[in-house]
Amino acid sequence: MAVIALAGCTGAPGVTTTALALLLSWPLEPGRKMILAECDPDGGAVLHGLLQGTLGDRYGLRNLSVAARKGEFGPVFWRQLIALNGKDGKEGQPESPRDRLLLPGITDPAQAASLGSVWKGLASMFRGIDTDYGHDVLIDLGRSGAFGLSGVLAEQADAVIVVVRNTLRCLQAAQVRVRALEERVGDVGLLVIGEGPYPAGEVQRVLQVPVVATLPYAPEDARVLSDGAEQSRRFTKSPLMKAARTSSALLVQRAAVRRSRLDQRRAFAGGEANRGR
């Protein structure tokens, strides 16, 4: 059970594509669900990428601003989720589970101005989903969502992971972003997409934060997720999706360790406060 935020930087690291690969490969026990929330203030990409506009824009983050003002945040939130897997079973067979869910992002960056009251509500909602339902939440913050008002989502997450490509251009851009995130949320980790020449150890040395997981650079398979390209029969067993399954387990471990450490700090701070009364 975890709430994990993915953040990006300049250099087109592919945060949303990475998030989708993780969502569709995340290890789930029966009864548990995985929710991917597109919380990039610059706009979401899945509705018109992977889903090719088939659902229009009637679902998503923008509907929560009105709900927040009306005090209907919780019920409306659940109605905005789209199942990216699952289908009706054939006669005499059970339905496959709809357990990988998407909260689509805004379709116009101008809509972000109306979401000031939504970010804190989402942060609380995600914590509640984790605690009350045992579901996992993956937050796609894009390149700018870890800062500004939406930065509360990063602050409240169990782990914040910066997606980088191991190219010189991306690593140069990531240095500033990683330092700024460390100041805001404490320790962060890296998920490296292996497009460039630098090994994980070198990336870790340059950015001075741990590489938690890696994904291969696989543009053909990535286009299935980013643009809704035709899926080959081998897609679910492709190197990208195999690595995403391994990465999912590593991210869960990272989140569990960080949560335990934060819980210990909070317990210690609470004890110190009580002794000071």
Question: Rounded CA gap, 206 and 11, in Å?
Answer: 17
User: β-strands 100-103, 82-83: how paired?
Assistant: antiparallel
pLDDT by residue, tens only, the chain of 277 residues: 799 999 998 877 899 999 999 999 998 888 899 999 999 999 999 999 999 999 888 899 989 988 888 889 999 999 999 999 865 444 444 455 789 999 999 989 999 988 988 999 999 999 899 888 889 999 999 999 999 999 999 999 999 999 999 999 999 999 999 999 999 999 999 999 999 999 999 999 999 999 999 999 999 999 999 999 999 989 999 999 999 999 999 999 999 887 777 666 656 555 665 666 6
| CB contact at 8 A, 85 and 24 | yes
What are the boundaries of each domain within the chain?
3-87+97-275
- Identify whether the C-beta of residue 59 lies closer than 8 Å to the C-beta of residue 68: no
pTM score, whole prediction? 0.90
Sorted by sequence, the CB contacts under 8 Å of residue 188 that are 6+ apart come out as 7, 160, 161, 162, 178, 181, 182, 209
The architecture that CATH gives domain 3-87+97-275 is 3-Layer(aba) Sandwich (3.40)
Calculate the alpha carbon distances from 193 to 145, 184, 190, 197 in Å.
20, 24, 10, 11
